A and B are shown apart, each in its own frame.
Chain A
Amino acid sequence: MRNGARQITVWIDGKEVTVPEGTSVLRASALAGVGVPKLCATDSLEPFGSCRLCLVEIEGKRGFPASCTTTVEPGMKVKTFSERLAGLRRGVMELYISDHPLDCLTCPADGDCELQDMAGDVGLREVRYGYAGKNHLQAEKEKSNPYFTFDPAKCIVCSRCVRACDEIQGTFALTVEGRGFDSLIQPGPTGEFLSSECVSCGACVQACPTSALMEKAVIDLGLPSESTDTTCAYCGVGCSFHAETKGTTVVRMTPNKESLSNHGHSCVKGRFAWSYASSRDRVTKPMIRKRIEDPWQEVSWTEAIEHVASEFLRIREKHGRNSIGAVSSSRCTNEEDYIVQKLVRAVFRNNNIDTCARVCHSPTGYGLRKAFGESAGTNPFDSVDQANLIFVVGANPTDGHPVFGSRMKQRLRAGAKLIVADPRRTDLVRTPHIEADIHLPLRPGTNVALLNAIAHAILEEKLENREYIEARCDLTAYAKWREMILRPENSPEAMGPVTGVPAEAIRAAARLYATTRPAAIYYGLGVTEHSQGSTGVICLANLAMLTGNVGLDGAGVNPLRGQNNVQGACDMGSFPHELAGYRHVSDETARRGFEQAWGIEIDPEPGYRITNMLSAATIGEFKGLYMHGEDLVQSDPDASHVIAGLRNMELVVLHDIFLNESSHYAHVFLPGCSFLEKDGTFTNAERRIQLVRQVMPPLCGKQEWEVVQEIAQAMGYPMHYHHASEIMDEVARLTPTFHGVSFEKLARLGSIQWPCNEKAPEGTPVMHRGEFVRGKGFFALTGYVPTREKVSERFPLLLTTGRILFHYNVGTQTRRTANTTWSKEDLLEIHPSDAEERGIRDGDKTELRSRKGSVVMRCLVSERVAPGTVYATFHFPENRTNVLTTENSDWATNCPEYKVTAVQVTRVFEPVRAEERENGKPAKRREIVPAAGE
């Protein structure tokens, strides 16, 4: 479908249809309800015109044009079937089938094969050429990829896979090698998918019309018989999938073409890495123990709930109501996060609720609210299609948010300009057919210095959008900010040496950003996870307002949220100072609404953040923690501080699907559900709320919100939800930005971007159009304050961290899938000069030592990092990167400064596992004693 403004009317087999100019005859036929046989065409790829099946007759035109590559013209009369067309199509099919195995009954695509369908469609009854001629039937199957196979014998060389890799994924891993009969799909020079540049996104498998590219799960289990639409539980893109099942077994996950978050695309994690849900490591029975040194004892749900409730009541009675609290998770649904904060506020009777967004995007909430009045990104993903400049700051979307990364690459290949600010040369900086116009390889910890200098250059060179500022922004605040930014200490020349980026490059970036409209900012944890994380977010908001880039398509300030439901967890009141909908607990009107609905009084003072809970625990003031879907020991900084806090508590309840690293310090384990076992909603990075639907029954027998409800009931507080939808109904009643949200509407519309209420009954794709939520945009002052973490003679390198495509955060899920085929351990990237200085070679084991601790990691010598900077992933518990990270955190939100740690790197010969050094005997702490009678 094209987006031409002009509408054109044509007749297809006598049926009138009106379509936008530029639409293909094939598409127009489909819209007229007329099917035309095809093999090389799909609605997700550009027309190719190679299979010659979609030939049609057009009145007044000679020959038989391919309908996929012929565009409509006014008054065109098209005939899609005639004796001659039928003969031509049969002839084409004869050629295809003469070199295709006739093993339909044993083929994994039997019943789901377009070639089979087309043979039937064109009425193929014989192959006059026979099957004895030269053919590809004995070609060897390529099985190196853990998730799918490539069978050249089944390949009809339609190039759909090659085009899907190029056009949709943008990796250009596949090619057609040879010509004519010798044409063969090749994934790189070795002929192996695994060793090629293939990122295993599944786009080629999705596009393949035969079983040439086929999921191994389908080969093993057969085609699925049922399908349930649900939302991926990995990153903040929130891809929608069809979970295809046989009974309660998931056979495959296929991306949903109708979804506005992923438009039918996927990445290796969402498409293939879901087998963790049925991992043998799943713990499905509740367990308790008196001391953390004891083995686990399986118990019934009743006993576990009663134990948890009575212990929380006992601690509250003994140590006061502020001695207990909870941490919720961005992996969980909105409904689960809402009910957990309700448990804390209405049953624990305090505001000691925090969420793992604390350690990733809490500065986003603070910064964007301060500037714009709402704690959320401004634009939908689709908006990137209109961006003429993309400014990526501290984000690596091709690894961290791969489906959106591909979308971004499509726009960049179509001509949008690109600025990347990142200490590391990420893939986006230079990837096939894309090269950043400007890469600003800043020193870790200097975002604010860089962004202030960009603003300085814009103002100094008079490139600001005065009309926009005067109409849309608070001019008093703007005048103060302008005066501060224009001070000499914020000039590119002054900040160049601080950031490590030449002044001229900073000025070039400023000019490009300010003069290319619309310009969109996308940022990630490379902005937020700093001691000035919130200031960095405010800097980005200021830049966008300065250039008039908020409130319009193709622009905005767009956080790329790390986890699937970071946005939602924050929306649901999971912070200790805010009720659902980002209303401060001191707001009497907001509080009264919840108090009336819940029948209790809410504390008007903020509660503890995660780090405050742990600090209070170490001095004996915080005694009981309910940890829902969270692994503080592995995820949070300064692991020794976390462990000290947990060890000092009388009750640590862990509600999770696995015994994670924090389980070593837990007294109760409550088994949770994977996303495949849940009903609920996730909200992605673009504020899009989407349904999560139960695909298989909970392995532990209960949905997580039911467990929370039972704890509340056992503590004497009435909760009587019967379904997750009733929890969302309550959220909608009590939260102005959610007034119009319901499961019924979500099912009907597919998704909703909040705010969704009387003013915007179907949601709000672009925020702040015409006016900011807070009224006038606010330029907060953003003085640069260097981090306390400094390099020294002992710790001369700066460590920054990130994740890779194949793993997700601390790897709890992906380490339990075949994604370990690509990555079995964390790696440390070090520049060749730093490596040489230390006698380190590629692949060596090295010890990283910081002021906080040391870990051992294998080295990858790489010029992706600048000299003086090293980069590590954090996916494997045995490496425990957070043993190294410091207690430094964002001044406003306490988001940890993961991205700046001074370290030394040395080569080691006999590595000792960090776990053994730090934890003593973890094996004992994982021992499980079955319930009596088992």
Chain B
Amino acid sequence: MIEDLVQMANQIGDFFDSYPSQEEAVAGIADHLKRFWTPSMREKLLAYAEEDGRELSQPVRSALARLQKPVAGA
């Protein structure tokens, strides 16, 4: 599953790649992950980013760093 999440996150990153500033791109990625991903999906990606994260693009890693680690549903 983590491979799917990494791919999806990088795809989101690719979309924001055309934004003129890195700041806007990172904010856009973070906002998208917050609005459309479940907490457990974000948690898995955060865990991956913390443990390894090599397959994640730099803007996605920056965006993840901004996301406060959410509390997963019960």
Contact = CB atoms under 8 A, between A and B. Distances in A.
A606 B17 contact: no
A785 B17 contact: yes
Closest 6 CB pairs of A and B: A783-B18, A891-B11, A322-B73, A785-B14, A781-B18, A615-B1
Given A619-B1, A782-B18, A892 B35 contact: no
Contacts of A535: 15
Contacts of B17: 783, 785
Of the candidates A483, A611, A612, A621, the one having the most CB atoms from chain B within 10 angstroms of its own CB is A612
Given A320-B73, A322-B40, A586 B18 contact: no
A616 interface: yes
Interface string A316-331: 0000111000000000
A57 to B, nearest CB: 72
Contact of B20 (A483, A621, A785, A887): A483
Interface string B1-13: 1001000100110
A321 B18 CA distance: 39
Given A621-B40, A785-B14, A891-B15, A606 B35 contact: yes
28 contacts: A320-B73, A320-B74, A322-B40, A322-B72, A350-B73, A480-B19, A483-B20, A484-B20, A535-B15, A576-B38, A577-B36, A584-B35, A605-B70, A605-B73, A606-B36, A606-B37, A607-B38, A612-B38, A612-B41, A615-B1, A781-B19, A783-B15, A783-B17, A889-B8, A891-B11, A892-B32, A893-B36, A894-B8
Contacts of B1: 615-616, 618-619
B38 to A, nearest CB: 6
A697 to B, nearest CB: 41
B39 interface: yes
Interface in A873-898: 887, 889, 891-894
Contacts of A483: 20
Interface in A248-263: none
A608 B38 contact: yes
Contacts of B4: 611, 615, 887
A321 B73 contact: yes
Nearest to B11: A891
B74 A321 contact: yes
B38 A322 contact: yes
Given A322-B38, A891-B8, 15 more contacts: A322-B40, A322-B72, A483-B20, A576-B38, A606-B35, A606-B38, A611-B4, A612-B38, A615-B4, A616-B40, A785-B15, A889-B8, A891-B14, A891-B15, A892-B15
A320 B74 CA distance: 6
B39 to A, nearest CB: 5
Contacts of A586: 35
A782 B16 CA distance: 9
Contacts of B36: 577, 606, 892-893
B20 A605 contact: no
A577 B11 CA distance: 19
B32 to A, nearest CB: 7
Interface in B34-74: 35-41, 70, 72-74
Contact of A480 (B20, B40, B74): B20
A576 B35 CA distance: 10
A603 interface: yes
A611 B8 CA distance: 11
A484 B18 CA distance: 8
A533 to B, nearest CB: 11
A616 B40 CA distance: 10
A480 B17 CA distance: 13
Contacts of A605: 38-39, 70, 73
A782 B15 CA distance: 7
Nearest to A617: B1
Interface string A583-619: 0101000000000000000010111100110011011
A812 interface: no
Contacts of A753: none
A681 interface: no
Interface size class of B (residues with CB under 8 A): 20 to 34
B41 to A, nearest CB: 7
A143 to B, nearest CB: 54
Given A320-B73, A605-B73, A782-B18, A892 B38 contact: no
Nearest to A480: B20
A547 interface: no
Contacts of A607: 38
A483 to B, nearest CB: 7
Nearest to A782: B18
Contacts of A892: 12, 15, 32, 36
A764 interface: no
A685 to B, nearest CB: 24
A709 interface: no
Task: Point out which of A350, A785, A891 has the most chain B C-beta atoms below 10 A from its C-beta.
Answer: A891
A891 B28 CA distance: 13
Contacts of A576: 38
Interface in A466-484: 480, 483-484
Contacts of A891: 8, 11-12, 14-15
Contacts of A447: none
Nearest to A575: B36
A531 interface: yes
Contacts of B12: 891-892
Nearest to A616: B1
A887 B36 CA distance: 18
A579 to B, nearest CB: 13
Nearest to B19: A781
Nearest to A641: B4
A479 to B, nearest CB: 10
A161 B41 CA distance: 59
A611 B4 CA distance: 10
Interface in A739-782: 781-782
A405 B28 CA distance: 38
Contacts of B74: 320-322
Contacts of B72: 322
A483 B21 CA distance: 13
Given A320-B74, A621-B40, A782-B18, A531 B35 contact: no
A127 B73 CA distance: 85
Interface in A434-482: 480
A605 B41 CA distance: 11
Listed residue (A535, A616, A781) with the most chain B CB atoms within 10 angstroms of its CB: A781
Nearest to A483: B20
B42 to A, nearest CB: 9
A291 B14 CA distance: 43
B8 to A, nearest CB: 7
Contacts of A618: 1
B14 A577 contact: no
Contact of A577 (B15, B18, B19, B35): B35
A586 B4 CA distance: 25
A785 B16 CA distance: 10
B11 to A, nearest CB: 4
B73 to A, nearest CB: 4
A615 to B, nearest CB: 5
Contacts of B15: 532, 535, 783, 785, 891-892
A656 to B, nearest CB: 27
Contacts of A619: 1
Contacts of A608: 38
A532 B14 CA distance: 10
A781 B15 CA distance: 8
Contacts of B20: 480, 483-484
B4 to A, nearest CB: 6
A889 B11 CA distance: 9
- Indicate the member of B14, B18, B32 with the most A CB atoms within 10 Å: B18
A320 B18 CA distance: 40
A785 B15 CA distance: 7
Interface in A631-676: none
Contacts of B73: 320-322, 350, 603, 605
A321 B1 CA distance: 20
